[in-house]
């Protein structure tokens, strides 16, 4: 027997006891011939008792009214947010539709405001992305290595593999390489002197 059942059992016992006492009181009243009243429940109520009942009803009336108001369903509007997507701002977007989805947190209830539809954004194309120049300088020509070279420069050309586009970095110029002078050549006469 749980706690709730115990309370019900106690209430039932009290009610039965009151009914028995009332029955005994009625029988005793009839036997003694006190006014011929058969039901004590019909005893006239005094002005003081009537005033107490009026005050009791006045206190209980607001409570019953509040309970009736609470029993009415409360409207609940849809609540949520969009997932925050917008038109792209990055380069190279070709344009088109973007769907900004509505994420529902609370569903509408009892006639509350419905959830909005997903937003469909018509987004324009953005500027193309810049393309930087790509390539390399040739390794040739090397600086001269023969004797008697008095020094100078050699030019190594730039070979472009990807040309620049849309404001990308330009290609560099050909590269000038400084070459040092080499040793003087030794003649046959100078060798024979030794």
Per-residue pLDDT tens listing for the chain (194 residues): 666 677 777 877 888 888 888 877 777 666 665 544 444 455 555 666 666 666 666 565 555 555 555 568 899 999 999 988 889 999 999 999 999 999 999 999 999 999 999 999 999 999 999 999 999 999 989 999 999 999 999 999 999 999 999 999 999 999 999 999 999 998 766 555 55
pTM of the model: 0.46
118 lies in the same domain as 139: no
92 lies in the same domain as 115: yes
Q: Is residue 90 part of a domain?
A: yes
Give me the number of domains the chain comprises: 2
Range of the domain at 146: 134-185
111 lies in the same domain as 141: no
Hey, what's the torsion of the CAs at 143, 145, 148, 151, to 10 degrees?
Answer: 20
94 lies in the same domain as 115: yes
- What 3-state class would DSSP assign to 81? strand
Q: Is residue 66 part of a domain?
A: no
146 lies in the same domain as 119: no
138 lies in the same domain as 119: no
Helices marked H in 34-151 = 47-70
Residue 183 structure tokens: 């040793």
pLDDT for res 84: 81
Q: Is residue 160 part of a domain?
A: yes
pLDDT for res 26: 77
Q: Is residue 28 part of a domain?
A: no
95 lies in the same domain as 114: yes
Q: Is residue 24 part of a domain?
A: no
116 lies in the same domain as 141: no
Q: Is residue 64 part of a domain?
A: no
> What is the distance between the alpha carbons of residues 132 and 63, in angstroms, rounded to a whole number?
79
149 lies in the same domain as 119: no
What phi, psi does 127 have (nearest 5°)? -65, 145
Which region, left, alpha or beta, applies to residue 38 given φ > 0 means left and ψ of -120 to 50 means alpha?
Answer: alpha
Handedness of CA 163, 169, 174, 177 (dihedral sign): negative
Q: Is residue 93 part of a domain?
A: yes
- What 3-state class would DSSP assign to 24? helix
Q: Is residue 26 part of a domain?
A: no
pLDDT for res 8: 75
117 lies in the same domain as 138: no
144 lies in the same domain as 176: yes
């Amino acid at each position: 027997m749980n706690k709730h059942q115990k309370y019900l059992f106690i209430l039932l016992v009290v009610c039965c006891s009151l009914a028995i006492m009332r029955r005994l009181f009625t029988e005793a009243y009839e036997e003694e011939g006190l006014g011929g009243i058969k039901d004590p429940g019909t005893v006239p109520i005094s002005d003081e008792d009537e005033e107490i009942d009026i005050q009791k009803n006045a206190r209980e009336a607001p409570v019953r009214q509040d309970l009736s108001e609470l029993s009415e369903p409360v409207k609940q509007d849809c609540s949520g947010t969009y997932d925050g997507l917008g038109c792209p701002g990055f380069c190279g977007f070709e344009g088109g539709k973007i769907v900004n989805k509505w994420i529902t947190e609370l569903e509408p209830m009892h006639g509350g405001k419905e959830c909005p539809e997903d937003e469909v954004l018509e987004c324009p194309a953005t500027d193309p992305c810049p393309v930087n120049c790509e390539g390399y300088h040739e390794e040739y020509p090397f600086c001269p290595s023969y004797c008697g070279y008095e020094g100078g420069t050699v030019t190594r050309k730039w070979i472009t593999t990807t040309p620049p586009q849309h404001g990308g970095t330009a290609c560099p110029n050909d590269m000038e390489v400084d070459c040092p002078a080499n040793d003087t050549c030794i003649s046959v006469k100078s060798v024979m002197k030794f």
